[in-house]
A and B are shown apart, each in its own frame.
Chain A
Amino acid sequence: MPKPLSSAALVVYAFAIALGLGVTATLSAVEGDPPFGALSVGPWVGWPQVGSRTADPYARAIAARRAELPLAVGEGLALRATQDSAGQALDSRCAYRIGAVTPQARLWTLTVYDGAGRLRTSDLERSGYTSGEILREPDGRFWLSVGPSARPGNWLKTPATERFSLILRLYDTPVAATSSALNAEALPKIERLDCEA
């Protein structure tokens, strides 16, 4: 008969599980985006609660780890897109057309970040547009091209990394307080046009 497992071995085993799984789960949980409270509208995702009193423990842990200064609910709302309106991941080799409306805000900015969340490395190249400088259609709508090669009108160059993300920041917007009022119609669409091989 095999010797029964000693209690010590079992205790060590249990603690190994506890530490191993506990630490792994924590690190993986705080690595990505906050697991709760995501506001997802079309391709855009935001975490308005992170900037409020009621931020959940995961959001706080993530903010602490990243040294984030989230936009408060009264300040504005930041929405991030890592995929286009069709659900495909944003690809630097492809051209996109973004437009044409944004929710009501005193000022908005739309910025391109590379796969690691960095801005463009050269100051000569634009990283983003603000509502104050974007060229608009006569009816007030706007169209922004994001792609590897230059296009007429509003154009942002895609970063060098394969993946990239866009962040739309709505400053001083009434939307933040009632984020349930956000719908896909009110936010810019991200249409994929063509891709370079």
Chain B
Amino acid sequence: MSDPGRAPGDLQIADPDAPAPAGPTMPKAAAFAAPAAARQTSAEAAPAPPVGAEPASAAPAPEAKPKRGRGAPPAEQPSLEERLQRRVPVVGHAMSERARFLLATLCGLVLAVAVHIVMVLAMPRLATQDAFSRLRGTMEAETAVLIAGTGRAETWIPLPDPASAVAACAYDLTEGPVRISARTGPLVQSISFHNRGGGVFYAVTDRAAVRGQLELVVMTRRQYEEALAAEEQDAPSRDVRVVAPRREGFMVVRAVAPSPSLRPQAEEAVRAVGCIAEGEGGMAEPTPPTPPTPAPPAAPPVAAPPPAAGPPAARPAPAQTPPRPGQPAPR
């Protein structure tokens, strides 16, 4: 991008004979050519379009600086012909007229590509009618909300399958993980997790169910690590933990009825899927059986005199520091 832009500017600046009078057009060309500065140029140029040259060359364009020293004062402008004669390569003139136009076109095209890329990338974020936005209302719901019934039920999903029932619930993991629990039946059933803005990061079918029950917990990476740390070794959690790349997203559950008579059952099955936000920390169950813990963790870190073998190991260290007189610095 910088090369084509550079050319005209260099050409003019490098031409020492080119008398200052180039004033009116040259700086403009140079300023316009400044490729990266296209946007600023517009800002400068826009306010005072009719006045044209003098102000533009006098005030801003840093590119025009070398020229301005010599060139600003002369007020009378030599005609194009004069400049043509003085200017050795005729190309120089052609550049300043047609090339400027081409350059503007080129800049326009490059910017068009940029506009296109930005728009495409921004579309999923800014969309107000995408799946997540439409499902936002289901965030508080404790069970999945039916969004496409079987048959030709009204739905906003494009190209719905009349044999399948689709339910969904949106989640926001800021408050804590979300537990999805489904009871599987005879129907083909699948659960998928979608990021806000597109992309499916996890999917599972009812074949993965354990004794007819599918327990999934969606969590952020941090919540996952916390859950791992809080987990008891003897009683590992049976949940399938799904790490979500983003905090916001939605779960979609589908059940497919192989025959019309099973369609009500399919709708019922997807509606019954629970999506319940778990509070802080997420792991509510493993915490009660804490009693057995104190013994093992007490050994390594708590070498401190106070025998306060607090149940959790490393964390309470700061709380123990005050009683220690000899060591003012806790760390």
Query: CA separation between A70 and B38, bound complex, in Å?
Result: 41
Chain B hits for A111, CB < 8 A:
161-163
Contacting pair A60 B124 (CB below 8 A): yes
Query: CA separation between A162 and B252, bound complex, in Å?
Result: 33
Q: Which of B155-198 contact A (CB under 8 A)?
A: 156-164, 166, 168, 188, 190, 192, 194, 197-198
Contacting pair A22 B115 (CB below 8 A): yes
In the assembled complex, A109 has its CB within 8 A of some CB on chain B: yes
The distance from the CB of A63 to the nearest CB of chain B, in whole angstroms, is 5
In the assembled complex, B123 has its CB within 8 A of some CB on chain A: yes
In the assembled complex, B226 has its CB within 8 A of some CB on chain A: no
The distance from the CB of B249 to the nearest CB of chain A, in whole angstroms, is 12
Contacting pair A117 B152 (CB below 8 A): no
- Choose, from B68-76, B202-210, B269-277, the stretch at the interface: B202-210
In the assembled complex, A100 has its CB within 8 A of some CB on chain B: no
Instruction: Out of A7, A23, A74, A117, name the residue touching B159 (CB < 8 Å).
Output: A117
B198-234: CB near A (< 8 Å → 1, else 0) gives 1111111101000000000000000000000000000
Interface SS, A side: mixed
In the assembled complex, A197 has its CB within 8 A of some CB on chain B: no
The distance from the CB of B35 to the nearest CB of chain A, in whole angstroms, is 11
Residues of B within 8 A of A (CB): 24-25, 28-29, 31-32, 38, 41-42, 45-46, 48-49, 52, 56, 79-81, 96-97, 100-101, 103-105, 107-116, 119-121, 123-124, 127, 129-131, 134, 151-152, 156-164, 166, 168, 188, 190, 192, 194, 197-205, 207, 245, 252, 254, 256-260
Known: A1-B79, A20-B112. 6 other contacts (CB 8 A): A10-B32, A17-B109, A19-B112, A52-B200, A107-B258, A167-B159
18 contacts between A and B (CB under 8 A): A4-B80, A4-B100, A10-B32, A13-B105, A14-B111, A21-B112, A22-B119, A26-B115, A29-B116, A69-B166, A69-B252, A74-B192, A109-B162, A111-B162, A119-B162, A127-B152, A167-B161, A171-B188
